[in-house]
Amino acid sequence: MRPGARLWAAALDAGAQAALMAAVEAIWAEAPPRHPVTRWGKPMSVGMSAAGPLGWTSDRRGYRYAPAQEDGRAWPPIPPMLLDLWAAAVPGAAPPDSCLVNLYRDRARMGLHQDRDEADLTQPVVSVSLGDEALFRIGGAERGAPTQSLWLRSGDVLVLEGPARLAFHGIDRIRAGSSAVVPGGGRVNLTLRVAGATAAASAS
């Protein structure tokens, strides 16, 4: 892996994965996944939800964090087990105030992108995989930099910090049917971030 990118393989055992999936379903009960459009008006293939004080959203106005869902309801809280996982993976980091909950099914993918909508880009990003295996690709801080790929499996935790914090990364495809953790099939990716008060102000 590139400097600053750390893979904690099999961080969650089968019981922990099941418990986290139950927490995800509770999030979805309050904030169902939706397919936001890009600034060019194209719906994303990934179903998106969120937890915490801030949730990431997208529409023709662009990408940003918002303190409420489209209907005005607050995002549900971040599950305690994810806060514990953050503390174990990145001790000393500020507590996360946003957890993106992405659902990959069928041919859903995520193109190469940087996570740079947060107020403090020195804080890490922690990503947790549940369900089907996903082919993850990561490059450098420039879009044209060489990339490397690896399969992320259910229960894996990936940390991007330091030199890898602004690395371009994405999901090329999922291996459908490789896991039964997600009801109905597919992959769930939970991404913990420190979005910050500045991001909240710009989203309001």
148-185 pLDDT per residue, tens: 999 999 999 999 999 999 999 999 999 999 999 999 99
> Domain of 189?
5-203
- Give the span between the Cα atoms of 192 and 161, in whole angstroms: 12
Contact 170, 110 (CB under 8 A): yes
Residue 200 pLDDT exceeds 90? no
Query: For residue 34, what is the DSSP state?
Result: B
Mean pLDDT to the nearest integer, 25-51: 91
**23-37, 125-139, 187-201: which range is least confident on average?**
187-201
At 203, the pLDDT band (50, 70, 90 cuts) reads very low
Closest CA to 174 of 78, 102, 69, 96: 102
At 10, the pLDDT band (50, 70, 90 cuts) reads very high
Residue 138 pLDDT exceeds 90? yes
Q: What are the tokens at 141?
A: 């801080």
The pLDDT, as a whole number, for residue 42 is 83
Identity at 157, one-letter amino acid code: V
Q: What are the tokens at 19?
A: 């418990």
The pLDDT, as a whole number, for residue 202 is 38
Residue 68 pLDDT exceeds 50? yes
Contact 110, 191 (CB under 8 A): no
Read off the CATH number of the domain in which 41 is found.
Answer: 2.60.120.590
Mean pLDDT to the nearest integer, 183-193: 97
The pLDDT, as a whole number, for residue 18 is 98
For the chain, what is the domain count?
1
Closest CA to 193 of 141, 134, 138, 115: 115
Percent of the chain past pLDDT 90, that is, above it, reads: 83
Mean pLDDT to the nearest integer, 92-120: 94
Question: When comparing pLDDT for 38 and 96, which is higher?
Answer: 96
Percent of the chain past pLDDT 70, that is, above it, reads: 96
Mean pLDDT to the nearest integer, 102-107: 94
pTM of the model: 0.92
Question: When comparing pLDDT for 138 and 197, which is higher?
Answer: 138
Residue 57 pLDDT exceeds 90? no
Instruction: Please state, rounded to an integer, the average pLDDT across all residues of the chain.
Output: 92
